[in-house]
Every structure is written in C-alpha cells, then in structure tokens.
Structure 1
Amino acid sequence: MKPLQNEYGQSIGAPVPNWQGAQTPAHVTLTGRYARLEPVNVERHARDLYEAHAKAADGRIWTYLAVGPFDSFEAWKAHFTKMTTLTDPLHFAVIDLASGKAVGTLALMRIDSANGSIEVGHVTYSPLLQKSRTATDAMYLTMKHVFEDLGNRRFEWKCDALNAPSRVAAARYGFTYEGLFRQVVVYRGRNRDTAWFSIIDNEWPAIRQGFEDWLAADNFTVDGQQVARLADLIAARRSAADGATG
C-alpha cells in the first residue's frame, strides 16, 4: 500500500475518521474468571496486601520500583493511603476471587485521552499472585477495559531495560517491543534506561482471543497446569487474523 500524500507531495499518516478521543479512566470494578480489579481502598486492601507481600522470601519485587520494601505495616499503610488519592496513576487492587483477598496492585497511568494512549504501570504482584491465572486474568481485564470501555488506540508497557522478568511478561501478554529510551530516569540513585512496548487497537481482537483461549477451563489440567502457553495462543490468533486479511 502506497503511503498517503498531501497536496504538496508529502507522505502523511492514515486518517482517523470521527476521532473524539478516549474516555478518561475512573474508579470502576472489573470482574473476570479468576480476578477482580477494585479501586484501591485502605480499609479493604491495605492489610491483605501487606501480608501478601510479606510472604516473599526477599525484597527483589521492589528492585525496579521507586518505593519499598516496607519494614512495617504503618510505613506501607502511609504509602498505600497516598496511592488512593491519585488519579494518574490510577491504582487498582487485584483480588483473587478464590480467596477474596487483595494480592497485588496495578495502575493506569500517563493517561492521554485526547490521543487515546494509556500505560499500565506500578505492577506489583505478591507471591500469591505471581505466575497465576489470576495475574493473567487481571491483565486481560485491564486491556479489555482500556480498548473496549475507554476506546483507546494504544496501550503501553514500560520497564527498566534491565528488568528481565518484566520484559518477558510484556512479550507473553502480546506487547510489541518498540525500542530503548536511554537515561530516562534516575531512581534509587541509579540510571534507568527504559524499554518501551505497546499494543494498538487493531491488534487487540486477536490478542483478546488468545487470552480467552488461555483462560478457558479446558486449557488447564486437573492439577492446574496449562495445556497451551499464552504467547503461543496469541501468536496463533494473530496468524489466523493475518491470513484472513492477507
């Protein structure tokens, strides 16, 4: 397909007909198969989260975050109370439906509703949430809300370029690596180069199908082991979509 050109012979981007911007995210509750996302609340979530994070063997979960670890409930509660007052980032507690407990948090941030771009960040998963169906369902709920409820065109994931687990998670969830931004942040007295990833709206339908294939009950054995990997299911759905339009 040839690039579009204006009256001066310059290449220009594709039109976005009737674009009115995305909706600004608000405090909502989102419920899935295994997870529920709730606006952070001190009375409902602070103690659960402190106890969940206390199950970690060490403080590595905090290495690539600007805060933590917290050596007392009072210190954690003070930080968590500040989280509840913010609208960008807009923090959510991840609830495990099986236990009813808050087991992690994530946030919508760098909200640019005029251009339909938003980022997921401050992803802080306790040992009770890591590598679980609940964690994957929480990200699925977030993506679905971002694209289908709020009408965004772009969903971003950024991390310290040295944070290997975060980069692996981004790839697993279907994000596309876009590049490295050098010397973006100074935190904890050290440099951060930032790796950028994104999903755009026309990729979402295939990614959504991949998530739903993975989350389905028949994708797990009786002892809870996955049958097919999420990344493989997303790749298969993308390949099928590309074949249908090719």
Structure 2
Amino acid sequence: MRLQHATWQEVEAYLTRHTGIIVPIGSTEQHGPNGLVGTDAICPEAIAWALGERHDVLVAPTQNIGMAQHHLAFPGTLSLAPSTLIAVLRDTIVSLARHGFTHVFFLNGHGGNIATIKAAFAEVYTQRSLDGDDQPLNLSLYSWFSGQRGRELAASLYGDAEGNHATASEVALSWYAAGVEKSVAMSPRLAPKGSADCDADTFRRRFPDGRMGSDPSLAKVEHGKRFLETGVEDAWEAYRAFLAG
C-alpha cells in the first residue's frame, strides 16, 4: 500500500496490524550517457512498491532529492545541502513517529546519501534522549545495491565493468521500472576510476561523461527485471530482520 494512495482511515487501520513503514530515498542526478537522471530514486521506489504490494507493507512517498553536490556540474542534477536533507528526514521521521510508527526503514538508492541519513538518525535519537522520550522508535538504513543477491547477479552479468556510478545494474533496473531504454555509445568503453570525494567541477574533470569505472552499455531491460526480483528478495530479508531485531 502506498501512503499517498491511502486515506487517513486506511493508514489508521494499517497501524492496528503493523507499525513499520518503508521510505524510499534516492537522488536526482546525472547517471552517465545512457542513465536516467532519476535512477537513484526510481530503483528503490520500484523495489519498495513491489514489497508493498506483495507483503502488505506501507510505503511512504519517495524522497527524490538527496545529497548530490558532486554531480552539479552536469545539467539536470538537483542537490540538497546535508543540513537541509537532515532537516527533511528528521521532520519526516518525527511525523511518522507521532502517528505510532515504531520502525522506519529507509530503502536507499544513492551512496552519497548514506552519511547524511545516518546523521539524521543521530539528530532524531539525540533529541529524543534530551527530551526523555521513551516511546519506541527504530530507524534503519538499507541500500538496495548492497544486497547479496543483487551483487552476485551484477558480478555474473558485468564483472568488473559494473563500476561504482552509472552502473549497469542500476541503469538496467531503472530502465525496466520506467519502461524506457537508451542506446548510447561509450567512449572509453570502461570509465575511469577514482574518488567522488570532491566538488562538482573536480568530479566532472575526473569523470567527463559522469561514469565511474562502469560500462552501462552492457545494461539490458531484461536484466532490470532480474534486478528487481533480487532487489525485492534482498530488501524483504533486511526489512524482516529489522522488525525482528
């Protein structure tokens, strides 16, 4: 069930059965010559929606804009400052906790969000400790691309050409989820490797077409369907462990 498609009465009824919710979070940023700007949000959203349909889990609206300052030299990229994203996530969590959600599972699609999401968790937990709030609240961060089944599938399909950004796996999954496919020649075939710990102009000098160590020309829509299935299996396993823990 998607939160934005439910009435408040349906959400209230859900809370009598379950107090967990999945929040997809990603980014709006360049993904190389053939990758969609929305890739990092489309991928976790597709997995979350499938989980909601298959397992009666409530899915919150996707946080589409993340911390992507290092991609800002490429047109189409949008970024929030870390402090802004922390505030947005904090207010989202506090809103959910007010209604009785005790387990908030962030399903992430962008590596650049990880540090900021963890900082947001620290802000929430710190404020609750200072306020003496002893109501249960558990927060979890899980990145779909870290799942074992998905990593094994990517290794079998692409080997070292999977890379670190604008990867073949995320391009394939986003194509499948969005119902599009883009054929673009890559030159060089395998992108340079390096660090994204830099400002936007430095990033573009290091990675002129936006890719990091990847060859997303290997991506196929039919691969995307397989990545959706492995992504759902991996994320469901992580979500159940979160609830149990």
Q: Same fold (TM over 0.5)?
A: no
Greater Rg, structure 1 or structure 2? 1
Greater RCO, 1 or 2 (C-alpha within 8 Å, sep 6+): 2
Q: Which has the higher helix share?
A: 2
Q: Which has the higher strand share?
A: 1
